Amino acid sequence: MKRGLPGMCTLHANSAREAVVKMCTLPLLAGENIGTAFVVPTVAASVDLVVHVNTDASGQRRVREIVALPGRAENGVIETADVFTTRDGRLVRADGYPPHPDRFAAAGFDLPALLGERA
């Protein structure tokens, strides 16, 4: 996480926020050589988005929520913002905004269009 290289990972969790908690908790299992004071800010600074996928009643995988991590943590809790959430079984736009919009543009993505802010 600390090398600054882009990447992705998978993690089993019941929600996007639970995945963030797990990312902060699992390294602590390494023992006393690592602590919350290091792990929480590192996760907050290293992870931009968490996409939670779940299976529906028919067994198909569906995106249930997308949560942004703006990079801030306070009292051991990482700040999150809903970008997309599920309401009445549908994925809908929430109020949150992904951090680092410049990275989307550099990769050729029109972030406002992806978020449904422009036609």
Q: In this predicted structure, what is the pLDDT of residue 18?
A: 97
Q: In this predicted structure, what is the pLDDT of residue 11?
A: 93
Q: In this predicted structure, what is the pLDDT of residue 43?
A: 94
Beta bridge partners of 92: 85
Q: In this predicted structure, what is the pLDDT of residue 30?
A: 86
Q: Which of 70, 74, 41, 14 is nearest to 22 (CA)?
A: 14
**Residues 52/61, Cβ–Cβ less than 8 Å:** no
| Chain segment 13-32, per-residue pLDDT in tens | 999 999 999 999 999 998 88
Q: Please tell me whether residue 105 adopts helix, strand or coil conformation.
A: helix
Q: In this predicted structure, what is the pLDDT of residue 94?
A: 97
Query: Residues, the chain, total?
Result: 119
Report the pLDDT averaged over residues 95-113.
Answer: 94
| Chain segment 31-88, per-residue pLDDT in tens | 888 899 999 999 999 999 999 999 989 999 999 999 999 999 999 999 999 999 999 9
Q: In this predicted structure, what is the pLDDT of residue 32?
A: 82
Q: Where are the domains of the chain?
A: 16-115
* 10, 25, 85, 112 alpha-carbon torsion, rounded to 10°: -70
Q: In this predicted structure, what is the pLDDT of residue 72?
A: 94
pLDDT of residue 1 exceeding 60, the answer is no
Angle between helices 36-46 and 16-25 (to 10 degrees): 140
Helix or strand holding residue 7 (H, E): none
